[in-house]
Structure 1
Amino acid sequence: MDKTTSDSSPVINIFVASHKDVEYPESSILRPIQVGAENAPVRFKNVLHDDEGDNISDVNPMYCELTAQYWAWKNADADYYGFCHYRRYFDFSGTPHEENIYGEILDDYIDEGTIREYGLDDEHIANQVEGWDVIVSPVNSVRRMDGYANLKAHYSSNKHLHLKDLRHVYDILCRRHPEYRDDADAVLNGHEASFCNMFIMRKDIFFDYCEWLFPLLDEFTATTDMSYYDVEGLRTPGHLAERLLNIYLKHQLRMGKGWKVKHLQCVHFMFPEKTQSLKPLNQARDNVADMNRIVPVVFAADNAYVPMLTTTLYSLMENASRGFHYDLIVLERNISAYNKTLMQNMMAQYPNATLRFFDVDPIIGDYTLTTSNAHISVETYYRFLIQDALPFYDRIIYLDSDLIVNGDVADLYHTNVDGKAIAAVRDLDFLGNLNMPDGKRREYAENKLGMTNPYDYFQAGVLVMNLKEMRKLHSVAEWLTIASDPDYIYNDQDILNQECQGKVVYIDYAWDVMHDCADRVKNIFSFAPAPAYKAYLESRKEPKILHYAGFDKPWKNPWCDFAPLYWQYAQHTPFALQLMAQVAGIEPPHTPAHHERVIAEDSPIRKYADKLAPIGSKQRELLKTVARKVQGKE
């Protein structure tokens, strides 16, 4: 790769090492490179590959991101060489950001907002790099991190690494470069270093560093038996390089090189994976050509609600017509890959269905959304995203995940909603409360929701949404801004009733039969206007959709109203045992946090530790050191 430039500005290449196909900022300076490409199952498009030209791609399991450094050394030509990771970038904004004790700024996604915030564009990068000799991440203290005495103790604390390997590379270094001994001792016996193996260097410095580093690591790997190391243990050369970088820089500066060294903060993106966009089903699947025969049904759920969602999906397809294809789309942000696979495997028995997932977190993360009911989750707001997430649909069905489908939703989908925004069932619970003597619900409906006829209030768990009209009412940003108001009783349902007045088609109660939660049929529904109450009672005889709205759920109380019908479907899903466990009150196992804390977040002594020894104080460092010794970690 030849060095080219249109003016006198230096050429800066910052290589972004990745073994995943992720999002990258658009930049001529940031150069994504697939590491371990030689043995990768998939070759990424539109990126560099570390197995081309002179390379060591085959040793990527040991050398990690160093295979990108080697490739750049041997194949690229620039004035500045830099390296970061697919999830960790330098902050080029010039604006300080709050960081955690590990010296990282934490953020979620690589998107337009974060690219602006952290200056991940050519102009900001060039402004921060030009004129400097070396740029590394901020110096951080392992005492601040977790109370380690020094870098050797920090290295040894990793249960996958072996302190003998650090001693071995130290011996190799001292034999090859005895002038580095004092610097190695100072770094390894000290408690400060720049971490993450990220740096930017002038060409001559980078070449000198590579000529020094790789022979050390090559001798280490040639003289170390790692045959029985685990996966993380095999990455030992990468871990060693992180320490060697600090030794190299300390020595060069002690020798009076006079380099201009800058420290830039490191931003760690938690979710760098590509954000997907859904396509029309006739483009996504070759065997679905007729869009007129497609019935799109949208759900919203999180990982904890997967067993219930799967029951809903199973019931829907057991009653679906073979004459239609059902595009089942789940709006989610944390459903595990394993659970998605189980759901996909179950749905494979239905050739007239496609199950797809859409991660909403990049869209919804900027809004403060809360619910005022314990049995309502923030996933309920995801329906406001549908009009943008599915631009190729003008009409969809939306279903909650705490229901079972007992009829063919294709019939519901073909409800005439021309000129209207929503088709829904009137809410008997709300209508009954309107007739209560205290008048509180009527006052709320008229004053908060501004409803001219509160008896038109609908239940939002089953909807036919005319997206053309919904888009006319509000943009997604406007819907979510309204939803950020915490004073609604029924959250998004109240908002939809408020904003869609006069644009609602009211459908048969059989399409959203709410079960009898805590005797509400007698105590609340019976207070509703007589025609509505009688229609509801009639709908209970042959419900097309049975909705377990409220706190009394069949996976919590198998004696609740219509629970046998629910379990008739639930028993056939891969999550039946998990639902049964919930009936028995068995909680799912807890997943420990990524970083083990010396003093746990929920420790009863933590609040006293925070008062007596604030984070960052000398007392705190002493306290953590003592705690590590007591726990045998020092």
Structure 2
Amino acid sequence: MVTACIYLPFEKEASIIKRDLFNSIPQEWVKSEAGHNEGFFHHLKTSRGFLDQLYAVWKHNQCDYVGFSYNDVFLSLAGREYDKDIAKAGITQSDSRSFKWRENDLLSVIKVSENFIPRLYALEDISVVQDGDTIASFYKRKTGKDRSLKQLSELIKKAYPEFYASFDDVLNGKTLIPCNVFFLQRNLLNEYCEFLFGLLEKISFSSYQDEYVDYYLLSLILFTTYFTNGNIESLSFSAPAIYVSDYLRISNDLNSRNIVKSVLRKEKIIRYTSPKKVLYGGVINVVMSFDNRNGYAQHAYSVINSILAHTSNHKDINIFVIYGSDLPLSKINEISRNFSERVSVSFLKIDSCFLDNLELEDNYLTKSAYNRLLVQDVLPDNVHRIIYLDTDILVCDDIVELWNIDLHDHVIGAIPDIYSVGNDKRLFGRASDGLYINSGVMLLDLELAQKRYGRLSSYFAKVFYEHKDKVKYHDQDILNLAFHNKILQLPLRWNVPGLLYYFWPRLPKDLLDEENNDFPRDELIFSLNNPGIIHFIEDRKPWKRNCFNPFKRLYWRYRAQNIQFKPSIEQRFCIWNNVFTWRAGTFAVASGKKIHHIHARSKWLALKQTFKSMKF
């Protein structure tokens, strides 16, 4: 009788669906191997927690076919070449049947192939890279040295000469295969693990004490080397991956319609509420920065109107708009005229500075985003504390509550970026366990900053030129470099990523890179249901046709409030389309609370294959 098992980390449930192939790794296996080889096992445990468990499976498993699935990533065993990677909120009985994960599907699976591995992915889809990066240069930039790669090269050349050419191709190439998910015939698994762990063990014994070795990245390189080797490559089937996301699960359970209603209800309540006490000087200073490129000046209407809609402290708010040469006088007069009777709005122009030498890479980011680094230079001397807001946010609660937060002797208070963990390690090394913030909503104590750092623009310029090679995400990286480990983490509800209301993972990036920030589940659910500020991060903006966010209705409501606004045909489509959208060949169709994903490319290829096989 043929036996098979797909092993999950020992902290996972033993079985996802009844009578399936999944089983959790016995914890005794891991403890047993840790006791036999404590030194080497310590190095494996630094590899994001899966190499030590894979090692235990290799030593103890007795099944004919062995699967491994880590970090909520699974492989389809259906053998359909045209299928794409997909994300799901959970695994159902139907999924188990469709992806051939049941015990009674085993014989049909091995008829297709006895070995299933993930596909090759471009390096730029796996992590943050620089132009021209190869796998070798990427490893050196991440770890600071390439000594481990040189050692591996010598070891493979002597012990595994048949793999030397493919190893060299991998290092000089720009593609990798994920190594933490597969389904292999036991003999092939044994041969691969002898290759992998034999080489890693020699590297661990010969590495210097102060040398950082990225065992996870090395295992990616070695997995790719092994399975792109000509003799092995023909034995395996490149299968699509299924990513199970807790964010998807949470967002699917949300009642977005009720959340929108609660935000609108707060508007009505605030009309009959007395102004709140404003701490720290009695005046709330809100700073924004935008220009007229990409229409961002228009989006400021939504931000300002949403602020005013949720507070009765209009007279206690000063709004300062920092701008450069790209904001025409006509637009300044228009905004000033529309808000002159409701709130104080001041426009402050910045002069030429070190920002002129910066190069922008994101097509939706303008140089005005960097202006927040110059606030201290242009604001009046009596402004000692500010709230900085991006123009792609919506305020959904009283901004006085955010202003009154005690910074506890910190210069800055902000919320972790959704990709905080990975970006922190990118800037400060793999050993770092700090906080990487999103700069779209910040509370800043300028007076304290002046005492500690002097003139902030000079300090930021110094930080930028000292770390120029590290700066990828523009002003946000500069702020995180400047105030590393000196930032107060604010409650998540004051900068809720809008994409979490309709979470669509960035495959394959989310598939391969487990460095995303995992917000505490209770805080995440509370913040999503009670947002103070919603931030439309990345390119999924509510004014774009592909936006499927339920809160875009509020964006258009506040944009049209108290001004003469006649939407175009395209804008009307953006406003009313909450039924379907599409991205990268995948349609999303809303039906009640459920969102159905239709992988158009897969369906079309399947249809073409059907027609080709038909005889007329």
TM-score relative to the length of structure 2: 0.42
Bigger radius of gyration: 1
